[in-house]
């Protein structure tokens, strides 16, 4: 081969390869990472393995550094909506609903299909029967026979049952303390991070309490969220008494005029008595000083469906719950669990997690939720 041609080919290949590598690299550099190991803040914590006097580390400075010559432009986050994130739940029901609509006038199969649709969405057998009974009565009274109109009655019934609750997060302490409880992995720490992001953006002074002292990684994860949101975090060492960490966080909040302490807890559920003792101790100690516990929120993972309800019953008996945060509704075909949770527990679903990002948390709006589920 002509040596000149060979050189041209080699130079060409090098140029193409170099450009490719450059784009890959710069692309990667702009991807925000959620990996807790990337924060060095965790290393600054003082390890303390004991009692109420346990030393705690205070993190207030975000450890993010931005290089001047290469500004990081983060795209504005797409706000999470029910409509955008409930695709799985919607498709679990859509076949049955289409069949009901396609039939026109209702017959016995219509009611069976509606039942199947609601049970598939994890509304629960009991609530499904109650809802359909009410809808049947309404349809009879109003002489409604068309399938689509009956679906509208189902939607109206669901909205009635789910709506009209106070979903605000109560305050009134100085500081207020919001406790987050629930079994391991449901999304407590992530939810705290999301709420911190929202509250700090509204100009509020927020303190996170790393009350899950069972695993070192839990405090690191919370510290990462504190860094990202601009909240401060109080943490103890691995195995420290959770109550003492929360106590210290309340003290820190009071001394710094903070508005709210968001308290993380471990999701251990050895026995019911154990859980009850632990939660009542946390609450007592949190209120020992200037703080008042104004919310105790149970976090439930929507993908566990009816199993989440079993956990919920345990926690309802162990603590005075004020609300539920239902997480991972984005990845769940079981959106109807909202109905089951409210019917069974009688406490409102206040917030819903629709993803892993900082902005993927929305207030529970019954009308929007039902419309998104049936669209
Ligand atoms: N898709 C999705 N994932 C979530 C949501 N909330 C939490 N997660 C993920 O669930 C996992 C466990 O969350 P974590 O907050 O550590 O749970 P904790 O053990 O209760 O504190 C993590 O991978 C989170 O990113 C949500 O609303 N949607
Ligand atoms: Mg956690």
Question: For 268-315, what is each residue's pLDDT tens digit?
Answer: 766 778 888 889 999 999 999 999 999 999 999 999 877 888 888 889
**Ligand 1, from 81, 297, 356: best to mutate by most atoms within 8 Å of Cβ?**
356
Range in 8-17, 104-113, 335-344 the model is least confident about: 8-17
Q: Mean of the per-residue pLDDT values for the chain?
A: 83
Q: State which ligand 1 atom lies nearest to the alpha carbon of 185.
A: 19
Delimit the domains of the chain by residue range.
Answer: 82-162, 176-321
pLDDT of residue 47: 35
The bound ligand whose nearest atom lies closest to the alpha carbon of 356 is 1
Which of 131, 148, 90 has its CA nearest to residue 333? 90
pLDDT of residue 313: 87
pLDDT of residue 312: 87
Report the nearest-CA residue for atom 7 of ligand 1: 187
pLDDT of residue 269: 67
Bridging pattern class, strands 349-353 and 361-363: antiparallel
Question: For 242-277, what is each residue's pLDDT tens digit?
Answer: 999 999 999 999 999 999 999 999 877 667 788 888
212 CA → ligand 2 middle, Å: 7
The response to whether residue 188 sits with its C-beta less than 6 Å from ligand 1 reads: yes
Whether the predicted pLDDT of 335 surpasses 50 = yes
Give the DSSP H/E element, type plus range, for residue 233: strand 232-235
| 55 vs 295, higher pLDDT | 295
pLDDT of residue 75: 56
| Pair of tokens at residue 233 | 């975090």
Whether the predicted pLDDT of 58 surpasses 70 = no
The response to whether residue 356 sits with its C-beta less than 6 Å from ligand 1 reads: yes
186 CA → ligand 1 middle, Å: 6
* Residue 172, C-beta contacts closer than 8 angstroms, at least 6 positions apart: 292, 294
Homologous superfamily of 176-321 in CATH?
Answer: P-loop containing nucleotide triphosphate hydrolases (3.40.50.300)
Residues belonging to the chain: 375
Whether the predicted pLDDT of 24 surpasses 70 = no
Question: For 345-368, what is each residue's pLDDT tens digit?
Answer: 889 999 999 999 999 999 999 999
Domains 82-162 and 176-321 are alike in CATH topology: no
Q: By the 8 A CB rule, do 182 and 248 touch?
A: no
Residue 178 φ/ψ, nearest 5 degrees: -110, 115
Report the nearest-CA residue for atom 14 of ligand 1: 187
pTM higher than 0.85 for the full model? no
Q: State which ligand 1 atom lies nearest to the alpha carbon of 331.
A: 1
Whether the predicted pLDDT of 23 surpasses 60 = no
Measured CA to CA in angstroms, residue 185 lies from 79, 189, 240, 325 at distances of: 24, 9, 20, 13
82 CA → ligand 1 middle, Å: 18
Place of tokens 């516990």: 293
Cα angle value 204/349/182 (rounded, 5°): 80
189 CA → ligand 1 middle, Å: 7
Mean pLDDT, residues 37-41: 36
| 140 vs 91, higher pLDDT | 140
The response to whether residue 352 sits with its C-beta less than 6 Å from ligand 1 reads: no
**Ligand 1, from 190, 218, 297, 354: best to mutate by most atoms within 8 Å of Cβ?**
190
| 67 vs 307, higher pLDDT | 307
pLDDT of residue 317: 86
Mean pLDDT, residues 149-160: 97
Whether the predicted pLDDT of 161 surpasses 80 = yes
Homologous superfamily of 82-162 in CATH?
Answer: SRP54, nucleotide-binding domain (1.20.120.140)
Tally Cβ neighbours within 10 Å of residue 166: 10
SS3 279: helix
pLDDT of residue 30: 40
pLDDT of residue 31: 37
Mean pLDDT, residues 192-211: 97
| Pair of tokens at residue 12 | 């060409």
Share of the chain above pLDDT 70, in %: 78
| 333 vs 62, higher pLDDT | 333
Q: In the structure, what pLDDT confidence band is assigned to residue 375 with cuts at 50, 70 and 90? A: confident
Q: In the structure, what pLDDT confidence band is assigned to residue 207 with cuts at 50, 70 and 90? A: very high
Whether the predicted pLDDT of 5 surpasses 70 = no
pLDDT of residue 54: 40
The response to whether residue 229 sits with its C-beta less than 6 Å from ligand 1 reads: no
| 45 vs 86, higher pLDDT | 86
């Amino acid at each position: 081969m002509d040596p000149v041609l060979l050189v041209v080919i080699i130079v060409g290949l090098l140029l193409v390869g170099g450009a490719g590598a450059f784009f890959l690299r710069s692309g990667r550099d702009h991807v925000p990472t959620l990996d807790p190991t990337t924060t060095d803040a965790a290393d600054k914590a003082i390890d303390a393995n004991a009692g109420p006097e346990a030393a705690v580390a205070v993190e207030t400075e975000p450890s993010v550094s931005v290089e001047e010559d290469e500004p990081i432009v983060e795209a504005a986050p797409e706000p999470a909506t029910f409509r955008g994130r409930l695709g799985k739940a919607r498709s679990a029901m859509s076949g049955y609903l289409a069949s009901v609509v396609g039939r026109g006038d209702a017959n016995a199969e219509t009611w069976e299909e509606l039942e199947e649709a609601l049970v598939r969405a994890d509304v629960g057998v009991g609530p499904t029967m109650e809802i359909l009974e009410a809808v049947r009565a309404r349809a009879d009274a109003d002489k409604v026979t068309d399938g689509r109109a009956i679906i509208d009655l189902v939607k109206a019934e669901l909205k009635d049952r789910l709506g009209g609750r106070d979903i605000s997060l109560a305050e009134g302490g100085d500081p207020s303390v919001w406790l987050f409880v629930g079994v391991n992995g449901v999304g407590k720490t992530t939810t705290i991070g999301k709420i911190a992001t929202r509250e700090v953006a509204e100009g509020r002074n927020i303190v996170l309490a790393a009350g899950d002292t069972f695993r070192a990684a839990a405090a690191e994860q919370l510290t990462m969220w504190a860094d990202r949101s601009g909240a401060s975090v109080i943490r103890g060492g691995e195995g420290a008494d959770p109550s003492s960490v929360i106590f210290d966080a309340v003290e820190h909040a009071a001394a710094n005029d903070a508005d709210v302490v968001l308290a993380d807890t471990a999701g251990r559920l050895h026995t019911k008595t154990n859980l009850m003792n632990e939660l009542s101790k946390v609450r007592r100690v949190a209120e020992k000083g200037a703080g008042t516990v104004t919310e105790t929120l149970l976090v439930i993972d929507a993908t566990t469906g009816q199993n989440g309800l079993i956990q919920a019953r345990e926690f309802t008996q162990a603590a005075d719950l004020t609300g539920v945060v239902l997480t991972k509704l984005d990845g769940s075909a079981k959106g109807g669990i909202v109905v089951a949770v409210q019917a069974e527990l009688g406490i409102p679903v206040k917030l819903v997690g629709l993803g892993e990002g900082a902005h993927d948390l929305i207030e529970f709006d019954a009308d929007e939720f039902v419309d998104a589920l049936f669209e």
